[in-house]
Amino acid sequence: MTHSHDARQAAGAAALDIAVIGVGARVPGARGPDALWSLLMSGEDGLTTFTPEQLAAELEALGEVDRARYVPRRGVIDGIEAFDAPFFKLSAAEADLLDPQHRVLMEVVWEALEDAQASDCAGASLGLFTTSGLSQYLIRHLLPDPALRERHGELQLLMLNDKDFLATRLAYFLDVHGPAVNLQTGCSSGLVALHYACLSLQRGDCAAAVVGGVSIALPQQSGYVYSENMIGSRDGVCRAFDRDASGTVRGNGACAVVLKPLAAALADGDPVRAVIKGSALNNDGRDKVGFTAPSPRWQAEVIARAYRDCGVALDDIDLVEAHGTGTPLGDPIEARALNQVFGGAGTGRTRYLGALKTQIGHLDTAAGLAGLVKLCLALDHDTIPPTAHFRELNPRIGFGDAPFTINREPVAWPRRERPRCAALSSFGIGGTNAHVVVAEAPNCEPQACDGPQAIVVSARSAASLAALRDAYVQALEAMNEADAAGFAAFAAATRVGRRAFEHRLAISASGPAEAVARLRAAPARAAAPLAAGVRIAAEQMAAVAQRLGVTQHADRPDALAARLAALGIRHDQSAPLRLDVSQGAWRLEWADGASLTSDEPLSTPAGLDLQILLWRAGIALDFRLSAGRRGRPPVAVPTYRFERQRHWIEAARAGEAGAAAPPAAGAPPATLVALEVLLLAQWRGLLGQPALRGIDNVFEQGANSLTVAQCVAQLTSTHALPMQVVDCYDAPSVAGQARMLGERLGLAAGLAQAPAAPLPAAEVEQFNNL
């Protein structure tokens, strides 16, 4: 009876399993999951120690006592001042104002989706669960500038910086339709977001989900003043659970994971990195000494309930990734909670305790997700990484009969008969606690494929395409030539699930060395448009032949259609070709249902050439069909290479930001040319697009409802133009708006009715640039 009940409970829990199918990370000392794994295995930290010269201004502002206690260390990430605005369909002006936390998380989420082979997700039921830190860019860089507030409006600044709009901005960019939710519980926010993402998947609110967390404190180039009994470390080193632990160090960074119900992921052949077995949340309430203090009782409760609810035995846990801040108060309390739960479980076996904060610092809202990425990588690599800066256990910590070991060297963690399991904790200031239980993914070995493989590369710009090709070449050069299965998995990952952009190249090769040579030689260009439609008129030709009694060449039109299709020339229809693949055969289908079928497998050289030809020509091919539904193991393929440009507004020093100058008032322009010049200058300033032309659609250049309202308000107040918001939608180009307003003002359509006096030279020059 009990055994039957337990079996049913286990089966029910397994039905709720959630797969982690993609990860992304940008943390101190590591850009990307592979770099993070290298950092983990090194046993060193990725924090930065600043020189006195770098900190001169900050140190000068401190008193003598604070200067003596100043710790010049922090975990930073490079490049937060730059962003690929065109890739994310933002104007230059929006990018200048966008919180670097939003920028970085947008990039990391995209990288996680590519890692999951799922970036081609437009229109999908994809949920977004995000969390971020306070926007210090808004507070320190934007709001202190009255002129900036006047020019852009506080609502625009808030929408581009506040955490409330992070998930919805991602949903808008990706064009996905699942829940888009931002959650905030302090340090535990990342795992809380993960918990609710899993619930949303289990309820069917979305088919897949992304969980992302980011925290970037500004200025990055700064340390902190050490204070006894506060969270900061005395010497800028985090020594979790060590006898010399004195606190943690702040770290900036972002992490993201892509989730899907395990059953669906396996059915779809997705690359499963790990399985989330269950999670639990609670809060300390008032059962602690103060609002910011932790509670051992409620930490223990949430840990125990996570295992009870998901049906995983405590004895199955090999590794616990601790919250591990390295503080004199926090570490002993966390150890006491672990003792309470694990005491007596698995006596005589080794269970490891890890703490990622010792290497990347405390990522605040993103800390829990960073720990999850670490566990996924450890399971991938069959190794438990060491905990940095650990030498001797804190004497205030006693694990008693809960046998935890903190390893100083990597430990092998091979697969065995029972699934390997791990867990992680995250505890937020204010008392929201989270614990997550993770297991290894079902075994999925890469399968060797005979014959050549297609490798495709695409990007939004020529520069990004060239950079991504170089990254592919570098990855392939490091690959073992004899690893046919690994090469096939790499090639498939370039094709399956990645969004295809307009700049493309593609090759076929039978191994890494051949692929490197062909990638280097392949022409990189924008997708060539399909040839003009060709009308074969097969039915009409057949009717004429029948009337004439000529039947021996009746099959020629079909043969011609096949030849033209193989060359990428489409039938004369309004919709493009679609290539369907099933059971090794392919079919080209046109809008009217006409199709062309061949039994020749696409895996043959001729079939691959057809795929590459059509893909280069801009046809959307669903490579999942040719890859089949077999499982695809996780594989490290370089992710998109963003073409970043500097988008940064420096923080104004105290007293430097002046009052906003009132806009210069003036009468409406007297000529149509002058009107268009005025509108163009206004739009160029609002969008940050100095190259904007009169014929350009302002919405395609980044305008939105807020910028439209700002444009209309400024033009009506400063130049008395009879302009309405709806005008910008009726005439989305600057030239169109000028013509519409010119008619209302009675301005001539051309220069013939302009005043006899010549236009100023500066105005003529602007006109020449319209």
Q: Is pLDDT above 70 for 755?
A: no
Indicate which residues carry an active-site annotation. 187, 323, 362
Say what the pLDDT of residue 569 is.
39
Q: Would you state the pLDDT for residue 187?
A: 96
Residues 415 and 543: their CA atoms lie apart, in Å, by 68
The three-class DSSP label of residue 92 is helix
* Separation CA 48–CA 72 (nearest Å): 8
Residue 175 phi/psi, 5° resolution? 60, 55
pLDDT at 339 over 60: yes
Question: What is the pLDDT at residue 549?
Answer: 56
Range with the poorest average pLDDT among 128-132, 169-173, 406-410, 484-488 = 484-488
pLDDT band for 566, please (50, 70, 90 cuts): very low
Q: First and final CA of the chain: distance in angstroms?
A: 82
Of 534-543, 578-587, 730-739, the poorest mean pLDDT is in 578-587
Question: Is residue 710 helix, strand or coil?
Answer: helix
Determine what percent of the chain is predicted with pLDDT higher than 90.
Answer: 58
φ/ψ of 473, rounded to 5, equals -60, -45
CA 770 from centre of chain: 37
Using the predicted structure, report yes or no on whether residue 754 has a pLDDT greater than 70: no
Kindly state the DSSP code that residue 640 receives in the 8-state scheme: -
pLDDT digits (tens, 9 = 90+) for 497-530: 899 999 999 999 999 999 999 999 987 766 555 4
The confidence score (pLDDT) of residue 58 equals: 86
pLDDT at 686: 82
Mean pLDDT of the chain: 84
Range scoring the smallest mean pLDDT among 17-21, 36-40, 310-314, 668-672? 668-672
pLDDT for residue 468: 97
Computed on alpha carbons and rounded to an integer, the radius of gyration of the chain in Å comes to: 30
Q: Is the pLDDT of residue 568 over 70?
A: no
> Which amino acid would we find at residue 197?
A
Among the listed residues 530, 596, 593, the one whose alpha carbon sits nearest the alpha carbon of residue 558? 596
Q: How far apart are CA 541 and CA 449, in angstroms?
A: 44
Q: Does pTM surpass 0.75? A: yes
Q: Is the pLDDT confidence value at 535 over 60?
A: no
Give strand pairing partners of 705.
Answer: none
Beta strand 503-509 with 351-354 is unpaired
The predicted structure's pLDDT at residue 118:
94
Residue 752 has what pLDDT? 34
User: By the 8 A CB rule, do 188 and 426 touch?
Assistant: yes
If you classify domain 453-526 with CATH, what class do you get? alpha beta
pLDDT for 242 equals: 96
Angle at 340 between CA 336 and CA 345, to 5 degrees: 125
Reply yes or no on whether the pLDDT at 588 is more than 50: yes
For residue 123, give the 3-state DSSP assignment. coil
Contacts of 391 (CB under 8 A, 6+ apart): 239, 242, 243, 244, 408
pLDDT at 77: 98
Fold type of domain 672-768: 1.10.1200
Q: Rounded to whole angstroms, what are the CA distances from 608 to 424, 454, 511, 519, 527?
A: 45, 7, 15, 16, 17
pLDDT of residue 15: 78
> Per-residue confidence at 145, pLDDT binned at 50, 70, 90?
very high
Q: Which of 265-274, 443-452, 657-666 has the lowest mean pLDDT?
A: 657-666
Q: What's the whole-number mean pLDDT along residues 717-729? A: 82
**Both tokens of residue 241?**
């659970």
Lookup: tokens for 632 = 């695809």
Count CB neighbours of 168 within 10 A. Answer: 15
Cis peptide before 410 (omega within 30 of 0): no
- pLDDT in the model for residue 627: 53
With beta carbons less than 8 A apart as the criterion, state whether 264 and 15 touch.
no
Euclidean distance between CA atoms 528 and 173, whole angstroms: 26
> Under 8 Å CB-to-CB from 559, ≥6 apart: which residues?
none
State residue 707's pLDDT score.
79
Kindly state the average pLDDT of the residues 382-400.
Answer: 92
Q: When comparing pLDDT for 631 and 298, which is higher?
A: 298
Separation between Cα atoms, residue 729 and residue 723, nearest integer Å: 12
Q: Which amino acid is at 541?
A: M
Average pLDDT over residues 542-564: 55
pLDDT band at 625 (very low <50, low <70, confident <90, very high): low
Find the range with the poorest average confidence among 27-36, 142-151, 313-322: 142-151
Q: What are 216's two structure tokens?
A: 């970037």
DSSP result, 427-469: E-TTSEEEEEEEEEPPP-------S-EEEEEEESSHHHHHHHH
Give the Cα separation of 457 and 522 in Å (integer). 11
At 667 the pLDDT is 67
Q: Does the pLDDT of residue 86 top 90, yes or no?
A: yes
Q: Which CATH number fits domain 20-440: 3.40.50.720, 1.10.486.10, 3.40.47.10, 3.20.20.120?
A: 3.40.47.10
Per-residue pLDDT at 440: 96
CA–CA gap between residue 598 and residue 586 (Å, rounded): 6
Domain boundaries, the chain: 20-440, 453-526, 538-627, 672-768
- Mean pLDDT on 676-700: 83
For residue 624, what pLDDT is reported? 63
* φ, ψ (nearest 5 deg) of residue 453: -120, 140
Report the alpha-carbon distance of residue 174 to residue 193 in Å, rounded: 19
Contact 88, 115 (CB under 8 A): no
Interval 431-472: pLDDT, tens = 999 999 999 999 887 676 778 889 999 999 999 999 999 999
